[in-house]
Structure 1
């Protein structure tokens, strides 16, 4: 997508307002807001006026930029964002990349499961980049299921990325807890299980930024300990993966060693940690033993 041409002076004025209001990354957000208005409404609106002012006011209220814009970018895709559904983070692109590589190496028509799909970012990326893949994503939240289905439809129609989907790739989104909605015939036949589940302790909520508080708590906190859903997914992987299949689960970067222990306890092998671009532990990766 080409970037809209904007008036730098308008961007500076918006950045000054955002900075004075305590908004992080004010200069970056200001440019994206002005570019968005120019692209969607027109250059005149992007020079000021009620449309731009309204969006700036929402950002000053600490509504996440992605929700203000109604969209975000994830790997090659432009995805729709909606209030009440977890916003995908750039760090999760690393998790998606590991899953894409594992699926691509699994042979023709790999089967991929993605519970806790949220907006569908990981599932859509896999459909966009892995030829012949069969992806089934799940989420317990009806709002997330609706948004993920919308993003998947845009991906398969070539609207999220004109080069997507990959040849022969298919995907669907089902509502339910983790793997409950999955056809039992897939048990023991899955090539890749990937998830960005809730993994923070509930007590952490008091430390979250105003933007993060717009995400559903259930999409962030795994329970009192925080590791409950991570542990459950690793245990499920031990039975749903085919022999040699790969599980990739995003984790709290403070809990890497615990995640490795949980993977080993579940009977998985070759457990390792994957770091994001900041060097923090971002995911645990393991295989089903022969």
Structure 2
């Protein structure tokens, strides 16, 4: 067994004892990170690895320990206090990207941008798209702008894109320029959608590190989803698409809310696990 494989085995055992989910995957990524940074897991590398493993064993998310995460074609920086994008949200981004590709120069709005994962994925995968992203949390805005700068500089593992992404500080669609009203082709978001009663049921990686305002949509949990569905009727162009990630327990409520505000072609998209992941609907033509 090679020395690195032995390190991975040792780290796996340590993380498993701490109750970390997927301990072997995390152990491999931590060892690979240290080898890339320090050249090996010996000497200074051993001290670095021990510190990183201790953080992960304390249930700090792996993405924060490494300082980065991967989303579709991008490597994104993560920051404390900013929501970490999940793999299932790649499905939501994919629906928006497919729709944006149908337009010559799509206008895409993404509130609740967090790290900028969805907005930047649209930018690098849809030629000519214009994206306006917002977040109410200044830390998220700063992180998304940092990731935008890295994409523009070609540092995020994606092609260079034109300076066509705008990241604004503010609540949902309020920061958008008034002239965009009725002109947006795609409105996409991963908004807060959990009910307040879910607090206390989350794993430490979520409860202690993801910002509460990015998780909880209100007492009921569906408040922000309903606001965005209502806003879609004014901001989308006729025939424009809204794609919102939802609580998989609330698919029926999401369908009903979309229908109630007059949206059409209402559907629910499932993720790779079969869970209801997003509500999709169009503004009537």
* TM-score, normalisation: structure 2: 0.96
TM-fit CA distance, 1:169: 6.5
In the alignment, is the contact (CA less than 8 A) between 1:45 and 1:51 conserved in 2?
no
Instruction: Please list the CA deviations of residues 197-227 of structure 1 after superposition, one character each: whole Å capped at 9, or x if unmatched.
Output: 0000011011000001110000000000000
Does residue 103 (structure 1) correspond to residue 105 (structure 2)? The answer is no
> What 5-or-longer segments of structure 2 have no aligned partner?
none
In the alignment, is the contact (CA less than 8 A) between 1:152 and 1:172 conserved in 2?
no
**Match for residue 159 of structure 2?**
163
Does residue 51 (structure 1) correspond to residue 48 (structure 2)? The answer is yes
In the alignment, is the contact (CA less than 8 A) between 1:138 and 1:179 conserved in 2?
yes
In the alignment, is the contact (CA less than 8 A) between 1:128 and 1:169 conserved in 2?
no
CA distance in 1, matches of 2:218, 2:160: 36
Does residue 61 (structure 1) correspond to residue 81 (structure 2)? The answer is no
CA distance in 2, matches of 1:72, 1:164: 19
In the alignment, is the contact (CA less than 8 A) between 2:4 and 2:41 conserved in 1?
no
CA distance in 2, matches of 1:206, 1:273: 28
Does residue 203 (structure 1) correspond to residue 197 (structure 2)? The answer is yes
**Match for residue 134 of structure 2?**
138
SS of residue in 2 equivalent to 1:149:
helix
SS of residue in 2 equivalent to 1:206:
coil
Q: 1:287 to 1:252 in 2, by over 3 A?
A: same
**Match for residue 222 of structure 2?**
227
Work out which of the residue numbers 263, 271, 275 in structure 2 matches 1:276.
271
CA distance in 1, matches of 2:158, 2:237: 33
Instruction: Please list the CA deviations of residues 102-151 of structure 1 after superposition, one character each: whole Å capped at 9, or x if unmatched.
Output: 1111x221100000001110001000100000000000000000000011
CA distance in 1, matches of 2:44, 2:37: 13
**Match for residue 125 of structure 1?**
121
SS of residue in 2 equivalent to 1:267:
coil
Work out which of the residue numbers 9, 12, 17 in structure 2 matches 1:15.
12
In the alignment, is the contact (CA less than 8 A) between 1:198 and 1:219 conserved in 2?
yes
State how many pairs are aligned.
Answer: 283
Superposition map of 1:243-262 within 5 A: 243-262=238-257
Work out which of the residue numbers 226, 249, 259 in structure 2 matches 1:264.
259
SS of residue in 1 equivalent to 2:204:
coil
* TM-score, normalisation: structure 1: 0.95
In the alignment, is the contact (CA less than 8 A) between 2:246 and 2:278 conserved in 1?
yes
Work out which of the residue numbers 162, 176, 179 in structure 2 matches 1:185.
179
TM-fit CA distance, 1:7: 1.2
**Match for residue 175 of structure 1?**
169
In the alignment, is the contact (CA less than 8 A) between 2:73 and 2:158 conserved in 1?
no
TM-fit CA distance, 1:6: 7.4
TM-fit CA distance, 1:44: 4.1
TM-fit CA distance, 1:48: 5.5
TM-fit CA distance, 1:272: 0.1
Instruction: Please list the CA deviations of residues 138-168 of structure 1 after superposition, one character each: whole Å capped at 9, or x if unmatched.
Output: 0000000000001111112221124243xx5
CA distance in 1, matches of 2:262, 2:94: 24
TM-fit CA distance, 1:45: 4.5
Does residue 36 (structure 1) correspond to residue 33 (structure 2)? The answer is yes
SS of residue in 2 equivalent to 1:211:
helix
Instruction: Please list the CA deviations of residues 13-40 of structure 1 after superposition, one character each: whole Å capped at 9, or x if unmatched.
Output: 1101111111111100000000011112
